[in-house]
Structure 1
């Protein structure tokens, strides 16, 4: 690539869905042209594209699941405080059921993340 000419005079048209454009625009922080150029140059240097639509989906899924896991962690901490403070037996049984339900939801999240990771590979 020549370093003599820095004028950006060549226009490249790229076809994409409106959803893809919205997602790219969101990640580009308002400068889609510059962002696409950097992504393409990075891909050329590393022998292939690395920002695939599935990666954007995975990032969104991981953000959502992280938020959900944090909420489950807070709930478990509240349950543990209640049990450790001498909570009633009926409450303890209810708390154990809540813990089992949270465990199942966490396992479901792990399955979703695993499936998303396979799509990205």
Structure 2
């Protein structure tokens, strides 16, 4: 179960580290082609979302590695489930109805929650 956690959580952490960094460093014009919702959300909120994603990715990896505050790993995974539920809502209320990635990330984060409880 430990190996499964590291595979799933590692992939999730890589995805959110990249996605969060993109949201933090790129301009609205650079984000627009890959994120149709970016014009409906204030740029500081987008930056804050990116920061939360980076912190969540860190929370999936660092606590289990160090053995300190290991409860943060399932908390980060739960946070990603909630984040994706919100993302699905944002996509469905806008013009962009593509939610397949969000559904996949929700499922992956849910599996990570389950695997993290066995650490």
* TM-score exceeds 0.5: no
Flag the structure with higher helix content. 2
TM-score by length of 2: 0.37
Greater gyration radius: 1
Structure with larger RCO (C-alpha < 8 A, sep 6+): 2
Q: TM-score, normalised by structure 1?
A: 0.36
